[in-house]
Amino acid sequence: DVKVTQSSRYLVKRTGEKVFLECVQDMDHENMFWYRQDPGLGLRLIYFSYDVKMKEKGDIPEGYSVSREKKERFSLILESASTNQTSMYLCASSFGQGRYSNQPQHFGDGTRLSIL
């Protein structure tokens, strides 16, 4: 079974803080993803990575950065947290490179982040 583990289930931070969200997967997947999920807006892709040290912007990268130093770990960084970044953050991973990359994504249980 694929296991994607997010470091915190709930997190409360203050405006202006630098926030780190961590994600680890145990299936040797090449691809890892960060989403946020908001009512009425669904899942929106922030960033993804298809290899160590490689990253690509998703649909809403502003205010976020990512780091992938090891294959199994993908970090999301909120450079200076703002109240509009209060959300549920979901990490996912998938198998495959190149034309085999249309594989389903497997998700962690999410981090509910509140910015006060």
Q: Is 11 in the site for other proteins (CB under 8 A)?
A: no
Query: For residue 100, which of 25, 30, 2 has the smallest C-alpha distance?
Result: 30
Size of the site for other proteins (CB under 8 A): 26
Which listed residue (34, 48, 64, 74) binds other proteins by CB under 8 A? 48
Q: Is 71 in the site for other proteins (CB under 8 A)?
A: no
Decide whether 28 or 42 has the Cβ nearer to other proteins: 42
Which listed residue (45, 60, 63, 73) binds other proteins by CB under 8 A? 45
Query: For residue 97, which of 36, 48, 34 has the smallest C-alpha distance?
Result: 48
Q: Is 50 in the site for other proteins (CB under 8 A)?
A: yes
Q: Is 107 in the site for other proteins (CB under 8 A)?
A: yes
Nearest approach in angstroms of CB 16 to other proteins is 27
Stretch near other proteins under the rule CB under 8 A, chosen from 14-22, 41-49, 66-74, 75-83: 41-49
User: How far is the C-alpha of 29 from the C-alpha of 92, rounded, in Å?
Assistant: 10
Q: Is 90 in the site for other proteins (CB under 8 A)?
A: yes
